[in-house]
Amino acid sequence: MSPLGPGGEFDLIRSFQAAGPPPGAEVLVGSGDDCAVLESGWVVSTDAFLEDVHFRRAWISFDEAGYRAVTAALSDVAAMAARPVGVLVALGLPHADASRIADGLRSGIRRACEHARCALLGGDLTRSPDRLVVNVVALGRAHRPILRSGARAGDEVWVTGVLGTSAAAVRDWQGGREPGPSVRRAFAEPVARLGEARWLAERIRVTALIDLSDGLLGDMGQVAAASGVAVVLDPALVPVAPGAVAAAGSRRSALPLALAGGEDYELAFTARQGSAESVAADFHRRFGIPLTRVGIVADGAGVRLEGDGADEFDPGSAGFDHFRAPPSGAADVGRPENR
Amino acid sequence: MSPLGPGGEFDLIRSFQAAGPPPGAEVLVGSGDDCAVLESGWVVSTDAFLEDVHFRRAWISFDEAGYRAVTAALSDVAAMAARPVGVLVALGLPHADASRIADGLRSGIRRACEHARCALLGGDLTRSPDRLVVNVVALGRAHRPILRSGARAGDEVWVTGVLGTSAAAVRDWQGGREPGPSVRRAFAEPVARLGEARWLAERIRVTALIDLSDGLLGDMGQVAAASGVAVVLDPALVPVAPGAVAAAGSRRSALPLALAGGEDYELAFTARQGSAESVAADFHRRFGIPLTRVGIVADGAGVRLEGDGADEFDPGSAGFDHFRAPPSGAADVGRPENR
């Protein structure tokens, strides 16, 4: 049983990954990372983006939905420290209002591709009975892709940017409130940390890298499992987004959004002691976002919280998992699917 | 206006393909073919497979749905004469009965991967509000991928196998009848012509190649558009599947299923006069399916029918297109979405 709780999405994913023949020699990383890694340095990822699961029409426009879907997929390319090359998009378009929805999506997809300087390389178009379905394949290239599996005991855990804004937006919407502009924007037009990941990989030895799509706790659980280590996070160090603090009323009530709210698309990485510290100020100047140490890697397994505030938070009920009952209490963070 | 009718899926696809920055030098074919072609010979395709659009629970099991989704995606790899390497699968699983659905899908995905000797390289798992969503990314590799754009006036048009069985199965289900075992099997467990495509490409100069996912008329419309030629099909030559003839009652009433019914996943290709003829007998012996000449390539544009039976069929209402009103009359072939 994983420290993130029994069963659920992660186990189900692993059971699928174990299915079928093993990959041949031209596949360098077959499964279990943000992207598959192919011979010649290509990395490939696929991401589903479903109406009423990942977004709702009442929350964002179709243009923003297209932007967000492409950016979320490109975030997996960032998580390999790879350069984005292109995307393929498979759409299931509801028949009602199909051309208006298509116009919006096309505009948002184009903006996201332009922002990341990558091309739309094809796709598939089909009807959907009612809800919009967007699936994005992201393709990138890396000389030395960074995996989830390289964390070692003694490494430090760092994150880019601030956490919890996207979850705060969802919580506002779910509470019947319109989020403030900056909080809303974090959800509607997230940023894939593509340049940031490569900048870091060129300057320090990043031992493991992941993007925060399922929440810091859940995603560091993936790093811990892939690396065969424990990750110990200090809640007091987590850079809770000011927008999340404002929306939640206090840092303490915003902490669950930062720890377990997914889809911030920031990066979390591990590095040898002191190495990230040496570039943190340059990073902040270059990208305008902080680089923050949030914990350490230790011998053992799983993710745990240690330090002030750790007792108030139940990691067993946190971490984004589509296939468990909605979490409750402190971990009942805003997610579209927690209806 | 295309000879396949105004607007609809194909125009919408083109409008998406035109969006965003052009691909860089490491993308050899960016859009408009069955797969994107990347430097180093990788080919990539994505296919959506949606409940109540591409299949219904009452028709096939989840095991068969998984098998069919993977096979349909691999058919795009066959359409490049590429070797399959692996697939990534993004699933939207309904919460109700998720583990039983997942078990079935996993089994079918595994069988399809084993059949094609390729690996499951990763994916994405999410909840779906009600309907199952399966998106498959297929990856393959080819020294010399065959595109849709190489057909020249004077070439012959050939198809593998027999056509119309999958559409006959859908028509039976829609009419409240259970299809016969071989007709049902064509829908539930189609075959991607992976070995067949490479065999042909190694022996003759295939000038253009496509898989029949949207129906012979619609797919040859793609070849005609990409190649800047006209395709002239002779209805009398089309190898209508015996199962479709039996289900429809006569060859004449089965012809629309063969011409416009999609998802047979056979191959259509063009080649210089006489070249396919020279290998047709060997092909039949090797693969147990016929190789049949069905028409010619001419100067001009679009697809047209000439010969016996051409007058009875209205190509303007045929060809699979998710975004037009359901076709009527002779072209009202069985498709899951023609409800």
User: Which pTM does this prediction carry?
Assistant: 0.90
- CA-to-CA separations, B184 to B71, B244, B248, B252, in angstroms, rounded: 16, 11, 14, 21
Select from A13, A16, A28, A91 the residue whose CB has the most chain B CBs within 10 Å, as the one to mutate to test that interface: A16
Task: Taking residues A30-59, report their average pLDDT.
Answer: 93
Name the residue in chain B with its Cα closest to that of A96.
Answer: B323
Name the residue in chain B with its Cα closest to that of A320.
Answer: B126
Rounded Cα gap, residues A177 and A173, in angstroms = 5
All residues of chain A having their beta carbon less than 8 Å from the beta carbon of residue B149 are none
Contact (CB, 8 A) for B135 and B109: no
Say whether A50 and B91 touch across the interface (CB within 8 A): no
Rounded Cα gap, residues B203 and B275, in angstroms = 9
Return the SS3 of B300.
coil
Instruction: Inform me whether the pLDDT recorded for B251 exceeds 70.
Output: yes
pLDDT band at A309 (very low <50, low <70, confident <90, very high): confident
Calculate the average pLDDT of chain B: 88
Task: Taking residues B286-298, report their average pLDDT.
Answer: 98
Instruction: Inform me whether the pLDDT recorded for A40 exceeds 70.
Output: yes
Select from B75, B77, B135, B143 the residue whose CB has the most chain A CBs within 10 Å, as the one to mutate to test that interface: B135
Say whether B16 and A109 touch across the interface (CB within 8 A): yes
C-alpha closest to that of A87 among B74, B49, B113, B16: B16
Instruction: Inform me whether the pLDDT recorded for A162 exceeds 70.
Output: yes
Task: Taking residues A82-95, report their average pLDDT.
Answer: 95
Instruction: Inform me whether the pLDDT recorded for B37 exceeds 70.
Output: yes
Percent of chain B with pLDDT over 70: 87
Instruction: Inform me whether the pLDDT recorded for B337 exceeds 60.
Output: no
Name the residue in chain A with its Cα closest to that of B32.
Answer: A122
Q: How confident is the model at residue A81, as a pLDDT?
A: 98
User: B231: part of which helix (H) or strand (E)?
Assistant: strand B230-233
DSSP class of B52: T
Counting every residue, how long is chain A?
339
Instruction: Inform me whether the pLDDT recorded for A318 exceeds 50.
Output: no
- Choose the closest CB to A92 out of B53, B88, B89: B53
- Interface pTM, i.e. ipTM: 0.88
Rounded Cα gap, residues B326 and B218, in angstroms = 15
Contact (CB, 8 A) for A35 and B88: no
pLDDT band at B185 (very low <50, low <70, confident <90, very high): very high
Looking at the DSSP bridge assignments, the partners of residue B206 are B271
Say whether A21 and B113 touch across the interface (CB within 8 A): yes
Phi, psi of B222 (to 5 degrees): -65, -45
Q: How confident is the model at residue A22, as a pLDDT?
A: 83
Rounded Cα gap, residues A304 and A3, in angstroms = 8
Task: Taking residues A292-296, report their average pLDDT.
Answer: 98
Rounded Cα gap, residues B28 and B8, in angstroms = 27
Contact (CB, 8 A) for A50 and A152: no
Task: Taking residues B48-60, report their average pLDDT.
Answer: 95
Return the SS3 of A169.
helix
- Choose the closest CB to A135 out of B15, B48, B93: B48
Instruction: Inform me whether the pLDDT recorded for B271 exceeds 90.
Output: yes
pLDDT band at A150 (very low <50, low <70, confident <90, very high): very high
Task: Taking residues B14-30, report their average pLDDT.
Answer: 79
Question: How many secondary structure helices (H) and strands (E) does chain B include?
Answer: 10, 12
Say whether A36 and B86 touch across the interface (CB within 8 A): yes
Rounded Cα gap, residues B75 and B82, in angstroms = 10
Task: Taking residues B147-173, report their average pLDDT.
Answer: 97
Percent of chain B with pLDDT over 90: 78
Q: How confident is the model at residue A19, as a pLDDT?
A: 62
Select from B126, B149, B320, B338 the residue whose CB has the most chain A CBs within 10 Å, as the one to mutate to test that interface: B126
- CA-to-CA separations, B66 to B1, B71, B75, B128, B134, in angstroms, rounded: 37, 9, 14, 16, 8
Rounded Cα gap, residues B170 and A130, in angstroms = 21
Q: How confident is the model at residue B163, as a pLDDT?
A: 98
Q: How confident is the model at residue B322, as a pLDDT?
A: 40
| A-B contacts (CB, under 8 Å) | 255
Instruction: Inform me whether the pLDDT recorded for B129 exceeds 80.
Output: yes
pLDDT band at A69 (very low <50, low <70, confident <90, very high): very high
> What token pair was written down for B172?
């039976």
C-alpha closest to that of A323 among B131, B98, B50: B98
Instruction: Inform me whether the pLDDT recorded for B273 exceeds 70.
Output: yes
Instruction: Inform me whether the pLDDT recorded for B325 exceeds 80.
Output: no
All residues of chain B having their beta carbon less than 8 Å from the beta carbon of residue A19 are 106-107, 109-110, 113, 120
pLDDT band at A253 (very low <50, low <70, confident <90, very high): very high
Beta-carbon contacts of residue B175 (< 8 Å; ≥ 6 apart): none
Instruction: Inform me whether the pLDDT recorded for A180 exceeds 80.
Output: yes
Alpha-carbon gap: B277 to the closest alpha carbon of chain A (Å): 33
Instruction: Inform me whether the pLDDT recorded for A213 exceeds 70.
Output: yes
Task: Taking residues B133-148, report their average pLDDT.
Answer: 96
**Pick from A14-23, A188-197, A227-236, B321-330: least confident:** B321-330
Rounded Cα gap, residues A165 and A172, in angstroms = 11
DSSP A292-324: EEEEEEESSSEEEE-STTGGG--GGG-S--TTS
Percent of chain A with pLDDT over 90: 77
Looking at the DSSP bridge assignments, the partners of residue A206 are A271
C-alpha closest to that of B164 among B46, B286, B252, B81: B252
Contact (CB, 8 A) for B13 and A123: yes
C-alpha closest to that of B164 among B245, B231, B108: B245
Return the SS3 of B129.
coil
Select from A28, A46, A320, A335 the residue whose CB has the most chain B CBs within 10 Å, as the one to mutate to test that interface: A46
Rounded Cα gap, residues A111 and A117, in angstroms = 10
